[in-house]
Amino acid sequence: MGISDNTNWYDDLVRDVRILEFEGVVATKHAIGKRILDDFKKFGKPEYGARKVERLAKDVGIQKRELYRCVQFADKYPALEKCHGVTQLSWRRVVSDLLPEPRQERDVTPVGIPDGKYQIIYADPPWLYGNSATRANAKSHYPCMTIEQLCDLSDDNGRHISELAADDSMLFLWTTFPMLRDIWPVFTAWGFEYKTVAFVWVKETENGDIYMGIGNYTRSNAEPCLIGKKGKGLERRDNAIKNVHMAKKLRHSAKPHLFRELIERMYGNVLRIELFARERSPGWDVWGNEVSQSSLIGTSHGE
């Protein structure tokens, strides 16, 4: 049956969305999205697409972006009753932690690796997770990579990540606790030997409270940054740096600048590069698909 075969379906949709909008919060948003998805499946997306959502938003008095979020939510969590961690969140937290950012999909592989032999490699890889229910599924926020892809990572010219590191260098590698069982081949593939935990980031809210995430067991918060050594490593300049630090939670996966500063204090003014960078930082070369281009910036050259 096509859209034109039943003239009442849209009126029914408007009525149901108006009712659902006033019945709750997170469960209501999910029900709205599910109701719209039902018609996606019934009539087919080519016919029932963006224009219909825009019209629906106008007719029911809900922002278009909010309706899209409802659809994303219902599509990502079709069985909401099984996702207990999700149902305990506010709608604001669902949007900020669990739903995709409205941006275009990007190629996961940065364009080119800068020339140089770096003494500090600082990386926050886009780890691919298997679950998609009770934690902020990373794949919804950015393209992710498997362990094998990270081990084999090269630029368009065939230059492997391992070629970045100087003979004596250090690797700072962000990960998450659920990934600890799987990530160790990345150290070896990149030419480093795992040594210990460099940092543990305990996340705070804007009010200074302990941030409470979601999880399959306890509610998640902290993220570890591991350290690896190549060759003789580097001489430590500051031996008073602690490995546990509290800092405010940023947008999904972004790490506080504090940790770059700690690395600078720890090893001084040496050649440094950040992989999978989201922004430029003075004194650091960057390589990543979330900056406008992979580039050499600042002056990280040691004296």
Residue type, 120: I
What does residue 285 show for φ and ψ, rounded to 5 degrees? -80, 150
Which pLDDT tens digit goes with each residue over 234-276?
Answer: 999 999 999 999 999 876 567 999 999 999 999 999 999 999 8
Count of helices and strands (H, E) across the chain:
9, 7
Average pLDDT on 96-108 reads 55
Size of the chain in residues = 303
Give the model's pLDDT for residue 41: 63
Model confidence band, residue 131 (pLDDT cutoffs 50, 70, 90): very low
What is the bridge-based pairing of β-strands 193-204 and 244-248?
parallel
**Under 8 Å between Cβ of 294 and 285:** no
pLDDT at position 178 over 80: yes
Taking only Cα atoms into account, the Rg of the chain, rounded to an integer number of angstroms, comes to: 23
Residue type, 206: E
The CATH class given to the 118-287 domain equals: alpha beta
Beta-carbon neighbour count of residue 259 at 10 Å? 19
pLDDT at position 4 over 50: no
- The token duo for 119 is 């003494």
**In the chain, domain spans:** 3-98, 118-287
Average pLDDT on 91-106 reads 64
Model confidence band, residue 143 (pLDDT cutoffs 50, 70, 90): low
In the block, tokens 């999205």 appear at: 33
Alpha-helical (H) ranges within 44-151 are 50-60, 64-76, 84-87, 91-98, 147-151
Higher pLDDT, 98 or 88: 98
